[in-house]
Homo-oligomer: A and B are copies of this chain.
Amino acid sequence: MASLELQGLTKKYGDFTAVDHIDLAVRDGEMVALLGGSGCGKTTILNMIAGFIDQYEGSVLVDGKDMKHIPAYKRKMGVFFQNYALFPHMNTFDNVAFGLKMQKLAKSLIQEKVRRILQLVKLTGMEKRFPRELSGGQQQRVALARALVTEPALLLLDEPLSNLDAKLRVEMQIEIKRIHRELGLTTIIVTHDQEEAVSLADRVIVMNAGRIMQAGKPKEVFDRPANLFVGDFMGFSNFIAGQVRRVAGARVSVACSDRELVLDEADGTGLAAGDSVTLAIRPENILPAEKGAENALTGTVRNVTYKGTVTRLEIGDVFAETVFANIHESEDYEIGDAITVAFPSQKLLLYKKEEKRSE
C-alpha cells in the first residue's frame, strides 16, 4: 500500500546534527525496526516522515512522491507518539474513535471497530475513562489502539510497548505482528528491546548519533553485527583483543592474551598473520565445557549475578579482559571457583583493529 524512501535526510538543531544523511528504503508492507541509543535521532526521523518537522534537508518519499509540501494531515500515516499525546479532553473511546470519525465512518462501524481494538489491547471497560484516570501502561495502550484502529498504510510506532509488563508486551507484539501481516501495513517501529526488534521486524536498522550503522535482516544484525559498535549495542558484551596466528579460508586462529581461539565461518579476506583484531562474543554463547574441548579455557569466577533464567558470571584469568558469561545451568557457582568455558568457534566474531567501538 505504501513504500517509503528517505534520501539524505538530515535535521540540525543549531550546530547539533540530530539526524545525519539517512538513506533508507522501506518496501511496501515491510516492517522495519529502528534501534539505537537514547538520543540517536529515532523520534526525529519519525517526526520528519510524519510531517511534523518542516525544516530539514534531504527528502521523504512515499510511493516515490516527495512529501515536502504535503501537510501532515494528508499523509495518512498512523503515529504512535513516544509520550502518547492522548487527547486529554477525550475519554478512551473518543481518543480511539477520533481517526475513524475523521474518516466519516458510520457510527455503528466506529463502535464495532473501537470495541474490537480495545478488546485487543485489553482495555474493554475503560471506554469512559479519561487519560488522567488511567495508569501509564493503560494510557500507552490507548495510544496504541488509536494508532492502529485506522489501519493506516504507513504506521510509525515510537516505543509503543515500553511501559508494559513482559507478558502483555509479548501479547501486544503478537497483535501488532498479526495486524501488520493481515493488512500489509508498512511499519516503522522504534524499540529499545532487541528481542522485540528481531522478532517483529523484517529488517532491523541500528543507528548511532544520527547515522545508520547497519541495516539488515534481524538474524544478520543480531548474529553478525557489521562493526564493533553494532556488536556492542546488540549485546556482544565480550570484546577480546588478539593477533591473527593463522588464516585458512574461513578458519582463523587468533592469539588472545597468550591463549588461542579458533574461529569458523570468519571472513578471512584481507587478513594476515600478525594482524591486530578484536574478537566479540555474546555472554549467552559462552558455555560451560569440559577441559580440552575446542576453544575451552579455564578461568576463575569473579562475580555471580542471578538474572532469572540465566546466571551471569564474571570470569577472570582467561584473557586480559574479564569475560561475561550468561550460564543456563542451574548449577551453583561461587566466587573463586575455577571454571572452564568454551567459546564456540561459530559464535565468535572477528573485527579488524581500526574499527572503533565506542560512540
Contact = CB atoms under 8 A, between A and B. Distances in A.
A138 B44 CA distance: 13
A275 interface: no
A42 B35 CA distance: 29
A174 to B, nearest CB: 10
Contact of A165 (B35, B164, B169): B35
Contacts of A284: 309, 328
Interface stretch (A108-116, A194-202, A266-274): A194-202
Nearest to A40: B135
A307 B43 contact: no
- Copies of this chain in its oligomeric complex: 2
B198 A306 contact: yes
A308 B37 contact: no
Given A43-B136, A199-B307, A165 B37 contact: yes
Contacts of A285: 309
A210 to B, nearest CB: 11
Main secondary structure of the interface of A (DSSP, over half): mixed
Interface in A273-289: 282, 284-285
Contacts of A158: 136
B308 A222 contact: yes
A235 interface: yes
Interface in A156-183: 158-159, 162-169
Contacts of A83: 83, 136
Nearest to A167: B233
B328 A346 contact: no
A101 interface: no
A342 to B, nearest CB: 14
B218 A194 contact: no
A307 B222 CA distance: 9
Interface string A133-144: 111111011000
Nearest to A282: B309
A35 B134 CA distance: 18
Contacts of A232: 167
Interface residues of A, number: 53
A162 B165 contact: no
A307 B192 contact: no
A345 interface: no
Nearest to A140: B38
A13 interface: yes
A103 interface: no
A51 interface: no
Contacts of A162: 162-163
Q: Which among A133, A141, A163, A235 has the highest number of chain B CB atoms within 10 Å? A: A163
A17 to B, nearest CB: 14
B192 A39 contact: no
A167 to B, nearest CB: 6
A219 interface: yes
Closest 7 CB pairs of A and B: A38-B137, A165-B192, A39-B135, A82-B136, A198-B308, A162-B162, A199-B307
Given A13-B133, A222-B308, 4 more contacts: A162-B163, A198-B306, A199-B305, A235-B309
21 contacts: A13-B133, A37-B167, A37-B168, A38-B168, A39-B138, A43-B135, A83-B83, A136-B158, A137-B192, A163-B192, A165-B233, A166-B193, A167-B235, A195-B307, A198-B307, A199-B306, A199-B307, A218-B306, A282-B309, A284-B328, A328-B328
